[in-house]
Amino acid sequence: AVDGGERGVHAFLHVNAEEALAVAAEVDAIRAAGGAEAEALHPMAGVPIAVKDLIVTVGQPTTAASKMLEGWMSPYDATVIEKVRAAKLPMLGKTNLDEFAMGSSTEHSAYGNTRNPWDLDRIPGGSGGGSAAAVAAFEAPLALGTDTGGSIRQPGAVTGTVGVKPTYGSVSRYGAIAMASSLDQIGPVTRTVLDSAILHELIGGHDERDSTSLTDPVPSLVEAAKLGATGDLTGVRVGVIKELTGEGYEAGVQARFDESLALLAEAGAEIVEVHCPNFKYALGAYYLIMPSEVSSNLAKFDGVRYGQRVLPEEGPLTIERVMGSTRAAGFGDEVKRRIILGTYALSAGYYDAYYGSAQKVRTLVQRDFAAAFEQADVLVSPTSPNVAFEFGSKSDDPLAMYLNDVATIPANLAGVPGISVPGGLSEGLPVGIQFLAPAREDARVYRAGAALE
Active site residues: 52, 127, 151
SS3 189: strand
Phi, psi of 240, deg, nearest 5 = -85, 120
Strands of the sheet containing 418-426, edge to edge, are 12-15, 91-95, 49-52, 142-146, 186-190, 162-165, 418-426, 429-436, 378-382, 237-241, 270-274
For Cα atoms 412, 418, 424, give the angle at the middle one, nearest 5 degrees: 130
Q: Cβ of residue 103: shortest distance to ligand GLN, in angstroms? A: 5
By C-beta, is 13 or 264 nearer to ligand GLN? 13
Q: Cβ of residue 393: shortest distance to ligand GLN, in angstroms? A: 15
Determine the residue type at 69: L
342 makes contact with ligand GLN (CB under 6 A): no
- 402-431 positions binding ligand GLN, by CB under 6 A: 405
What lies within 8 Å, CB to CB, of 38 at 6+ separation is 30, 31
Contact flags string 90-119 toward ligand GLN, x per CB under 6 A:
-----------xxxx---------------
193 makes contact with ligand GLN (CB under 6 A): no
Q: Cβ of residue 101: shortest distance to ligand GLN, in angstroms? A: 4
Query: CA–CA separation, 445 vs 163, rounded Å?
Result: 11
Across 71-185, where does the E strand assignment appear? Answer: 91-95, 142-146, 162-165
179 makes contact with ligand GLN (CB under 6 A): yes
- 288-307 positions binding ligand GLN, by CB under 6 A: 290
Across 232-343, where does the E strand assignment appear? Answer: 237-241, 270-274
Phi, psi of 212, deg, nearest 5 = -100, 10
Residues forming beta bridges with residue 255, ordered by sequence position: none
- The helix (run of H) or strand (run of E) holding residue 12 is strand 12-15
127 makes contact with ligand GLN (CB under 6 A): yes
By C-beta, is 48 or 124 nearer to ligand GLN? 124
By C-beta, is 179 or 378 nearer to ligand GLN? 179
Contact flags string 361-400 toward ligand GLN, x per CB under 6 A:
----------------------------------------
By C-beta, is 146 or 167 nearer to ligand GLN? 146
Q: Cβ of residue 306: shortest distance to ligand GLN, in angstroms? A: 19
- Output the residue with the shortest Cβ distance to ligand GLN: 151
Query: CA–CA separation, 71 vs 176, rounded Å?
Result: 17
150, 175, 188, 438: which one binds ligand GLN (CB under 6 A): 150
Q: Cβ of residue 99: shortest distance to ligand GLN, in angstroms? A: 10
What lies within 8 Å, CB to CB, of 68 at 6+ separation is 301, 306, 307, 308, 326, 327, 330, 331
Q: Which stretch binds ligand GLN (CB under 6 A): 142-150, 220-228, 258-266, 295-303?
A: 142-150
185 makes contact with ligand GLN (CB under 6 A): no
SS3 208: coil
Q: Cβ of residue 124: shortest distance to ligand GLN, in angstroms? A: 13
Interacting residues toward ligand GLN by CB under 6 A: 101-104, 126-127, 146-151, 179, 290, 405
